[in-house]
Structure 1
Amino acid sequence: MAFHEVRLPARLAFGSTGGVERRTEIATLGSGFERRSTPWADGRRRYLIGAGLRSLDDMAALTAFFEARRGRLYGFRFHDFADFKSCAPGDMVAATDQVIGTGDGVRRSFGLCKAYGDHERRITKPVEGSARVAVGGVETPGFVVEAATGEVTLTTAPALGAVVTAGFVFDTPVRFDADRIEVTLESFGAGRMVAMPLIEVRV
């Protein structure tokens, strides 16, 4: 998949809006009852950025970033200020935040994930150097994390039944959802930009 391992500069995302999108198909029966289903296993994030920018320098920086991604062609990392940690946004990351697997005495690799109630979201773009891992509740330094995939590989396979947990900071993989960017000059050194849509991509 066409993806650039680069993050949109945080200052260009200030004032952004966004949230999770779900797709639900509803069939209403003659009796008035409904049948509901979804073709999506996971939600998909959407964002609008750029509407809060006023500096021509910041607008030029966003335009350059847009050009470097060739519009919608290449994905990139986005810091979602509302959801970017394995814990609550105001808490400190801990090695016991999220359960990522259970040892069987052989397996050493586990994928990062984050639970939302009974739903589990795969995390594929952890921030490099942010991960902490524990086995059986005891933090361990014996692991490496692939920053491009979120795969954790332990130096030693956890014992049978040992719970593997992790804490981390992560980005959301997105792409621009428009092939056009518009800027209006309002005064010397200041302007206005039409909000640019971003959409989460599966990687």
Structure 2
Amino acid sequence: MSFHDVRFPLDIAFGSAGGPGFRVDVVTLASGHEERNALWAHPRHRYDVGLGLRSDDDLHELIAFFKARRGRLHGFRFRDWQDWKSCPPLRPPAATDQAIGTGDGETTGFPLSKLYASGAQSYRRLIRRPVAGTVEVALDGVAVAALDVAVDHDTGLVTFAAPPAAGAIVTAGFEFDVPVRFDVEQLSLSLADFRAGQVPSIPLIEVFS
């Protein structure tokens, strides 16, 4: 996958709409009962950034960004302002936010992830595009020095210089972006329409590397 390690303009992203979606096949039986089958194990996020345009300058910035990505050709980073940290929205990330693995005395690499829990059910999301400079790691609640751990910001893999001891709980805190691309071949923009209050639809869709 061709990916540009640049982030979509934050101000425009702040006004966007969208979120995760699962693909589920629903069959209604003659009795009226349903059979439901999950076709995707993981959700795919979609957004519409047209809602975030507020000025002529925003339009100019969007056009430049679209052209530099060659439309749908290259992926890029996008901040989902509804979900972009390892913790609740009003808290700063901390090294103990998310459990990402348990040491066995041999393994050195642990992928970043975020757990979403509701009642007895939960879903764990792999974090593939952490934000540089925001990842903090701890072992059994004790912060690990930056020199003792490396973070791959293209995959979300955390690698220790020495394997954590068997039974040690590995936790992490971080900010993250969603890898996306434009899901439209051409921008259909009219400055006159925009100034008249008509908002264009500019869809983005999550990409998986």
Query: For this structure pair, what is the TM-score category when the shorter chain's length is used for normalisation?
Result: over 0.9
Q: Which residue of 1 aligns with 2:144?
A: 140
Q: Which residue of 1 aligns with 2:94?
A: 94
Question: What whole-Å deviation, never above 9, does each CA across 1:130-160 have from its counterpart, x for those lacking one?
Answer: 0000111111112110111101001121111
Distance 2:33 2:195 in 1: 55
Distance 1:178 1:124 in 2: 24
Match of 1:129 among 117, 133, 158: 133
Q: Which moved more, 1:85-94 or 1:30-39?
A: 30-39
Q: Which residue of 2 aligns with 1:182?
A: 188
Determine whether 1:18 maps to 2:18.
Answer: yes
Give how far 1:51 is off.
3.0
Question: What whole-Å deviation, never above 9, does each CA across 1:60-110 have from its counterpart, x for those lacking one?
Answer: 110111111111111100011110000011111110111111100000000
Letter in 2 for 1:46: R
TM alignment of 1:63-102, pairs within 5 A: 63-102=63-102
Higher helix share: 2
Q: TM-score, normalised by structure 1?
A: 0.93
Match of 1:196 among 185, 195, 202: 202
Letter in 2 for 1:195: S
Q: Report SS of the residue matched to 1:61.
A: helix
Match of 2:171 among 159, 165, 171: 165
Q: Which residue of 1 aligns with 2:160?
A: 154
Give how far 1:31 is off.
3.2
Give how far 1:190 is off.
5.3
Percent identity between the aligned chains? 50
Give how far 1:185 is off.
2.1
Q: TM-score, normalised by structure 2?
A: 0.91
Q: Which moved more, 1:78-87 or 1:4-13?
A: 4-13
Runs of 5+ in structure 2 lacking a partner? Answer: none
Higher strand share: 1
Give how far 1:28 is off.
2.3
Runs of 5+ in structure 1 lacking a partner? Answer: none
Distance 1:129 1:84 in 2: 14
Letter in 1 for 2:153: A
Aligned length: 202
Aligned-residue Cα RMSD (Å) equals 1.7
Q: Report SS of the residue matched to 2:91.
A: coil
Cα 1:135–1:56 shift into 2, 3 Å: same
Distance 1:36 1:52 in 2: 35
Letter in 2 for 1:45: H
